[in-house]
Chains A and B, each alone.
Chain A
Amino acid sequence: MTTLIKLEIMRVLRNRRYLFFTVIYPVALYALMLTAYGKTSDLSGVSVKAYFMVSMATLGTVGAALTGNAQRISLERKSGWTRQLRLTALPSWGYVVAKIAAVAAATLPAILAVFLFGFLEGVKLSAVEWIALGLTLWVGGFVFAALGVAIGYAAGPDSVQPIVMICYMGMVLLGGTWFPLSGSFGDFAKWTPVAIYNQLGRIAQAGASVDMKQLVAAAAYLAVFVGLAAWLYQRDRKEA
């Protein structure tokens, strides 16, 4: 079991695409955003630098969770590797656990890279706030890791890429990652998964007290995605 987790983590970290999408891409965008919003001092009441530090960190984790797992699970189901694993003494859930562990390991560097850039740009947080924010973002990543597993079991290798891209782009846009959404559309959008994720990050960042509604929403998304992933996984096993 631990060997499989180690192998999966190693695979992710060796992968150049991972490095690009989850580490370099958010940091580069962060730099770009700061230039673009250069003259604006604050967005939704926080400084531009702090706003986009959370946005770009969530962008990295959502990217890592979706692109990595969904595609690999889909391909490995097709190739027969998951069948081969079922013929080992590995517990039946071992494969999924290793995949999620690999994502959890992959999102940490993504968060830390954005943090480092934010820190160098002058984002000032207390040690407790840095840790609280880092943990919130890291734990929140599991919601999207579960979604990645669900997509991997739902889609074949041919369709998985567009599905991932649509989910990723759609959620990120509605999540206010690029710019805050306002008006009645904003009222709807703020309940989408990435929006909740971003809000929780900002709450942790500001050291404000947690809003129960958002926490419940995050838990609900986690439950739905985990349930979906579990159901699709069972369906896949029956089809052998």
Chain B
Amino acid sequence: MSTSVEQITGADRTGPGSGEVAAFRNVSKTFGTVKAVNDISLVLHPGETVAFLGPNGAGKSTSIDMLLGLREPTSGSVTLFGGTPRQAIVDGRVGVMLQSGGLMPDVKVRELVSFACGIHPRGRSVDDVLKSAGITDIADRKVDKLSGGQEQRVRFALAVAGDSDLIVLDEPTTGMDVTARQAFWSVMRAQADEGRTVLFATHYLEEADSIADRVLVVHKGRLIADGTAAEIKARAGLRKIAFDLHPDDGTPDLALLNNLPELSGLDISGHTVRIRSNDSDATVAAIYRAGFYPRGLEVTSVGLEQAFIAITGEQDAADESASLDKETAR
């Protein structure tokens, strides 16, 4: 590929460190007639904690498979630490926790973990790994006699069995209860604090919101957003404005509310007004100009979840009009 890195990084973030951990350059993957991944370009930088968001079937798992060299892209190139994914794995620079990573049955947890530590070119001590994954107490249990949550922790132990620079987690907390999930992320944060790059796929938006310092959104095989959670929410543009109108403050014409600028939603129940706005500053200023006296005014951003729905919805609408254009062109 002749395209330069600068051109591709798009948002031009260098993140906590500069350099390149992983790079997708115009990567596409087709299965028959289905385009699972459509021209994705992105660069991961050292020390970033990146959430990979998207609905089921968006192309997350296919992208992760290509990142790890389990699948070859149909076109474009994938590099890890400047080389092939396989080379990075052989060099012990990548630790992986797969969504459906099976475990070897008939062996004890400790035996499996010591195998993983032994095979890793930069393996950590078995006891350390058991401890950081919180499985010291089940080290002598057979792998096939574990509960779902315990199995998930053993899988995590395999991902951190060595001193890897990049940790990739595909839906790591699926099937965990809330406490287990919190415990998991606190361990994961410790890994990130040691300067490792962490990439995790999830469909729990609150995880992306609270843990990641960069969020990638894929939808229908395309990368449709790349930025901090705040940037993505801002891009969705929506803010919620809520206030009360007190009868003592006079009764201006409620119909005026309909004429507020940048309005994308209005709900009046009793004295309470709830507004969704694409530009909260303009809307709030207009509320005062119209002679309203709002009490207890609150401006809040929508959650990442609503932002997510908003931007994937935009994308769908754009796709639809594009295909309509095609129809009319015929």
B146 contacts A by Cβ under 8 Å:
no
Q: Are A11 and B107 in contact (CB under 8 A)?
A: yes
The interface bits of chain B over 81-125 (1 if a CB of A lies within 8 angstroms of the residue's CB, else 0) are 000000001111010101011111111000110111011110000
Total number of A residues with any Cβ neighbor in B under 8 Å: 22
**Known pairs A7-B111, A88-B120, A89-B121 / 8 extra A-B pairs, C-beta < 8 Å:** A10-B111, A14-B106, A76-B104, A84-B103, A87-B98, A88-B89, A88-B116, A88-B119
A84 to B98, CA, bound (A): 7
**Shortest Cβ distance from B17 into chain A, in angstroms?**
24
12 contacts across the A-B interface (CB closer than 8 A): A3-B114, A4-B119, A7-B104, A7-B107, A76-B104, A79-B103, A80-B102, A81-B104, A84-B158, A87-B96, A89-B119, A240-B70
A88 to B101, CA, bound (A): 12
For B68, the closest partner residue in chain A by CB is A87
Q: Are B106 and A11 in contact (CB under 8 A)?
A: yes
Q: Are A7 and B71 in contact (CB under 8 A)?
A: no
Report if A83-B98 is in contact (Cβ < 8 Å); known contacts: A76-B104, A88-B89.
yes
Report if A240-B104 is in contact (Cβ < 8 Å); known contacts: A3-B119, A84-B98, A87-B89.
no
Which residues in B have their C-beta under 8 angstroms from that of A83? Answer: 70, 98, 101-102
Q: Are B107 and A84 in contact (CB under 8 A)?
A: no
A80 to B120, CA, bound (A): 19
Which residues in A have their C-beta under 8 angstroms from that of B213? Answer: none
B65 contacts A by Cβ under 8 Å:
yes
Partner pick for B94 among A3, A11, A87, A240, CB 8 A cutoff: A87
The interface bits of chain A over 65-79 (1 if a CB of B lies within 8 angstroms of the residue's CB, else 0) are 000000000001011
Which residues in A have their C-beta under 8 angstroms from that of B118? Answer: 3
Which residues in B have their C-beta under 8 angstroms from that of A76? Answer: 102, 104
Which residues in B have their C-beta under 8 angstroms from that of A116? Answer: none
Total number of B residues with any Cβ neighbor in A under 8 Å: 29
Which residues in B have their C-beta under 8 angstroms from that of A1? Answer: 119
Q: Are A10 and B107 in contact (CB under 8 A)?
A: yes
Q: Are B101 and A3 in contact (CB under 8 A)?
A: no
A40 contacts B by Cβ under 8 Å:
no
Report if A80-B111 is in contact (Cβ < 8 Å); known contacts: A87-B94, A88-B89, A89-B119.
no
Which residues in A have their C-beta under 8 angstroms from that of B100? Answer: 79-80
Which residues in B have their C-beta under 8 angstroms from that of A7? Answer: 104, 107, 111-112, 115
Which residues in A have their C-beta under 8 angstroms from that of B106? Answer: 11, 14-15
Which residues in B have their C-beta under 8 angstroms from that of A81? Answer: 101-104
A3 to B120, CA, bound (A): 12
A113 to B105, CA, bound (A): 27
A84 to B96, CA, bound (A): 8
For B112, the closest partner residue in chain A by CB is A7
The interface bits of chain A over 83-107 (1 if a CB of B lies within 8 angstroms of the residue's CB, else 0) are 1101111100000000000000000
**Shortest Cβ distance from A84 into chain B, in angstroms?**
4
**Shortest Cβ distance from A73 into chain B, in angstroms?**
12
Which of A4, A81, A86, A87 is the most central at the interface, judged by chain B CB atoms within 10 Å of its CB? A87
A79 to B119, CA, bound (A): 21
Which residues in A have their C-beta under 8 angstroms from that of B71? Answer: 240
**Shortest Cβ distance from A17 into chain B, in angstroms?**
11
